[in-house]
Structure 1
């Protein structure tokens, strides 16, 4: 589902009411744990965390006018989805997350390349997501991103 929002607060207010508390908690978890340098806003119709042009003027190579995306989350029709580019770009981070997930969740991991789907908001492992947020600094992400696109 795509929401027409100009701020994270507006985005959450447009989602189904039964998801509001979980989305607010997810947002707080990310904001409390994401290293300095990333900014929060609406990007690609979701609540996004990205490297601002003031830190990385080149922006996203596919769309240089957009700041460099890092992670985001969205309320979809059947799930809440967390997107984390670092999990896709760094095998060590992916492997760490896959190994840690069962320690924090009772359900099987539902994951694509960088998308983690939570069909029930009660199953969101907030503590694990908080720890995931600490694993890659803004400078680490820029370095990883540049090494991947220059191949």
Structure 2
């Protein structure tokens, strides 16, 4: 479900009304816990959190004109999605998250490689998401990203 929006605020006004409170709280959880240096932007038709070019001039290897992506959140057709590239790139963070999730939710974890899906907004474990967001600084993310890129070259 692609939402055309120029700002995070506009994006939220365009998602289904029943999702707006939880989605706004998810956004606030991210911004309240996001390490210094990341910036909020619109990215890939979603709300994104990126390493700006001023901190990482090479940008994203797939398209160097774009800043280095880190996290995105989106309202999809059947769920709210949190895309966290650190989970995809770092097995320790993935294992930590998978092990912690049952301590914060009585529901089964619905997850892809970097996508965590929440079919019911009221089931989002905001405290756990806050902890996840704090796991990588900008410097940590750049280092992890570069080490993973080198392995694929």
**Matching of residue 89 in structure 1 with residue 96 in structure 2:** no
SS of aligned partner of 2:61? coil
Moved over 6 A (4+): none
Deviation of the 1:106 alpha carbon: 1.1
Q: TM-score w.r.t. structure 1 length?
A: 0.99
Give ranges in structure 1 of 5+ residues lacking alignment: none
Q: TM-score w.r.t. structure 2 length?
A: 0.98
SS of aligned partner of 2:48? strand
Q: Deviations over 1:79-136 (max 9, x none)?
A: 0000000000000000000000000011100000000000000000000000001110
State the alpha-carbon separation in 1 of the partners of residues 148 and 132 from structure 2.
20
State the alpha-carbon separation in 2 of the partners of residues 129 and 72 from structure 1.
13
Aligned to 1:73: 73
- Provide the aligned length of Structure 1 versus Structure 2: 151
Aligned-residue CA RMSD (Å): 0.4
Q: Deviations over 1:1-28 (max 9, x none)?
A: 0011010000000000001101110000
State the alpha-carbon separation in 2 of the partners of residues 65 and 117 from structure 1.
29
